[in-house]
Amino acid sequence: MQPYLDGSLSDAEVAEAQKHLELCSWCAKRYHFEERLRRYVRVAVSEPMSPELKTKLAALRTPLT
């Protein structure tokens, strides 16, 4: 299930996984839970960069002469 969620399966494997998910409600439920959990974690731990750092990084650019 993890490689399927990570998009690292071949086309044939993806097709096989999808077929299984259509037939197996236990796996389908788990799949949706995993998917949501992953998205939830990603959003929860996302912290935007401070504008100060952005300014500092922009200042590192080579000056145009």
> Least distance in Å: CB of 12 to other proteins?
18
For other proteins, the binding residue among 11, 45, 51, 55 (CB under 8 A) is 45
| Inter-residue contact 2 to 27 (CB < 8 Å) | no
- The yes or no reply on residue 33 touching other proteins (CB under 8 A) is yes
Burial of residue 19 (CB within 10 Å: 0-12, 13-18, 19+) is: exposed
Six-digit token pair at 44?
């929860």
Applying CB under 8 A, the residues found at the interface with other proteins are 2-3, 6-8, 30, 32-33, 36-38, 40-42, 44-50, 53-54, 56-58, 60-62, 64
